[in-house]
Amino acid sequence: MNLSAPAKINLSLSILGKRPDGFHEIESLMVPISLADTLTLEASEEPGIAFTCSDATLPCDDSNLVVRAARRFFETTKIPSAIRIHLAKAIPHGAGLGGGSSDAATTLTGLNQLFGAPLAPEALHALAAEIGSDVPFFLAGSAAMCRGRGEIVEPTPFPHQLPLLLIKPGFGVPTPWAYSRWRDALEIPGISYAPQLFSWGRLVNDLERPVFEKHLFLAILKRWLLEQPETTGALMSGSGSTCFTVLRDVADGSALEARAREAFGAAWTCLCQTL
């Protein structure tokens, strides 16, 4: 069984305050995009969870969300574990694109399908929420407004195929660190954090303030993207470190991508679209 695990971008991310459980209350419009990892799941005659990954820098033990999701599935259903899983990575790690969460959600849905749907949608959602705050979003398979710590998912119609250019530098941003700095971080003069308004919605991210304060590169990247004639808006996704820009036309993407590589060196780039 081969399954696609799409990345996401946050078109909006508002932080409403810190919760008693230590997490932050958020409201975020998340949209899946055409960039995706691929998971291959195959029943095995050997007991256990045999997991491999195309990216040698990622762990293949229980610290990987795919392994954690598979283990929780078998523990919850009481089905003896006997599975081979291979993950072909395309989504960069530590990018604010939800790659690990999407891989975990796709593992849960794939295992549930492979073993005869022992878990109802509500049980699958509860299991996903245990594994990570963004994991339930990827079960929805569509754009959604996510609230709470991210586990309250309200599917939202988003019929717009926005052409995008994603740019990620060679460093990631730990999500817990970004949230821990949200309250005390200061804005950088000359950088716009204001909501960008469009007919299809708005772009705004409250985590830009703490992340930009430490990683000035990302602030400069966003400002540069907003200055380019091919773009209509630009934003950091999630806790970073990816910034994305909405293109005026899909045909503008290649020229802007090439110019971005010249301006910012060996950054990872990807042309894609919202789904």
Let me know: does 163 contact 247? Beta carbons within 8 Å.
Answer: yes
What is the spatial distance between Cα 108 and Cα 139, in angstroms, rounded to a whole number?
9
DSSP-based three-state secondary structure for 63: coil
User: Is 62 in the active site?
Assistant: no
Catalytic residue among 37, 103, 134, 206: 134
Q: Is 29 exposed, middle or buried (0-12, 13-18, 19+ CB in 10 A)?
A: buried
Catalytic, 8? Answer: yes
CB–CB of 6/233 below 8 Å? no
Sort residue 86 into left (φ over 0), alpha (ψ -120 to 50) or beta: beta
Residues in the chain, overall count: 275
The residues with which 236 forms a beta bridge, in sequence order, are: 243
- Positions annotated as catalytic residues are 8, 134
